Structure 1
Amino acid sequence: MSQTSNFVDFVHVCCRSGAGGKGSHHLHRDKKTAKGGPDGGDGGRGGHIIVRGNSQLWTLLHLKYRKHIIAENGMAGSSANKTGAEGKDEILEVPLGTVAKSAETGEVLFEITQDGETKILTPGGRGGLGNWHFKSPTNQTPRFAQPGEPGLEEWNILELKLLADVGLVGFPNAGKSTLLSVMSAAKPEIADYAFTTMVPNLGVVAYRGNKSFVMADIPGIIEGASEGKGLGLRFLRHIERNSVLLFMVPADSKDIHGEYKILFNELSKYNPELLDKPRLLAITKSDMLDEELMAEIKKDLPQIPYTFISSVAQKGLVELKDMIWEAINADQ
């Protein structure tokens, strides 16, 4: 199976939580008691459908073909005030950065950002109360109890937004995959044509003193991506969760500042809040530049931290790591 089909960042699931068990309307009877009072126990609650963060996962592939998630019903209460067993919860393990939404309204229910974090996606029905709850001076032996609440059935959306320290932003063929491959152990597909990268790739970049940061290679943006052109909105959402944005423009571009502006505009149209994040610029494929050409290019660069790099020639990568590390930790 190819990497493209392995990466799933959006699933629709039908969730059916368990119904609560009914309460018991038992009256106490034993050898010594012919007409005892009520001792019916409560029903157990129905099983929840729970979402749990798992830092070892990076895709929703395992949920792609699990369209119906069904939790167990709670058991009925019984005599001697015994509460029925709770229905077994269904736990969905998801990657960090997963957002849960209602399919019907589009409302964001919650997001999972930490390993082991759990949230209830669809709550189970409450168990019914047993008849001992309804005993009163005027009704010493109530012969009724509550039924359990029914479970819920609803369609939900799970959507993954990658969590990374730095997101690579650039047109197709800007050298993002190559940079990720030389700075981390990630092995993205690399070729000299547009849209080689069809899925986001994550890589851990080692830094000085056993430190590290996570870099995400987002598939190339094109002009009009915020309106859904090219790979469009599907991958722009992955940029939302990155702490720092590293814009990448190749040195052989006819207009480096112009390319940066187009990328900047696409992000601002998609989500203006993205522009609050620290922005850096890497001029890639710059191994062929001499000092004179570099000086010429510097005259017309945007007013953000920048550096010249070449992934193939391993040029400027230490300076780039330093620049990224400083930006990631600027607020700390």
Structure 2
Amino acid sequence: MKHIELRDLDVSRIGLGAMGMSHGYTGAGVDDAESVRTIHRAVELGVTFIDTAEVYGPYVNEELVGRALKGRRDQVVLATKFGLISHTGRSGPTDSSPENVRAAAEGSLKRLGTDHIDLYYQHRVDAGTPIEDTVGCLAELVAEGKIRHIGLSEAGPDTIRRAHAVHPVTAVQSEYSLFTRDPEARVLPVLRELNIGFVPFSPLGRGFLTGAIRSTDQFDSTDFRADNPRFTEGNFQHNLRLADQVADVAVQIGVTPAQVALAWLLAQGDDIAPIPGTRRVARVEENTAADAVRLTDEQLARLSSLPPAAGDTHTEAQMRVMER
């Protein structure tokens, strides 16, 4: 597995998103033993970048990751997130007040079974707390050794600049894939100007780009895709046709559609470390093998010219707390 640097943080070129092991997707939480095996296999394959968050579950995903990494903690860069759960009693979708940041960090450290978090992200920008106050608190946690690096998730350019002026931001995490190109226009240029790394989540289009999703009947009632605009009837059929074009490229070169989608992402820059999520050993083996896939200029151009996916990436309420 090749490595890159997110600013000054060394990580494997492909990471592992742990959310779906416990939260959000059909089958989440039904086989923790397989999820633990998946994390172990990822580490064996050279994955050093593991991503979770307190809100996944909530809490149980961090506990799962902590159990899986017992005895392996020093082999990985461990990332988690705060801000979508309030420990201070505040109402509303976000809380990044300094008091909440400290409470969240202490909880995550305990659940993860570690004395430090390598990369600690603000999960969504909190309109009720100046970003300077939040990052000021995070800087104190860095000085105390409880976290090593500061990250932001789904933040807009102005917030990124303001945060970075208080303390260097190591990485920004946003949804980015062949289906979601939004960061290219506003966010990526700022990150490259400031030498901040980029971590794409949902790099497989929430399953669309694997070729395995053919009907919304595959989702149970707990699956957040059931009411996601990308998966509504008209949008779903349009997006299936785009996924089929990715599959065509995969057939040409004898790899899987997921590997094509990840290889395209890796070709977008050496400051990008996607975190495809899975809870299955076979999938983590497939995803990590994408590190060796090379697309031709013609294939890259064909994929880059695909029209945008139909439908917003999130519901209307969720969109209001993104890129602000």
- Regarding TM over 0.5, the answer is no
Q: Which of the pair has more CA radius of gyration? A: 1
TM-score with structure 1 length normalisation?
A: 0.26
The structure with the greater share of residues assigned to strand is: 1
Say which structure is richer in helix: 2
Q: Relative CO higher for 1 or 2, CA cutoff 8 Å, sep ≥ 6?
A: 2
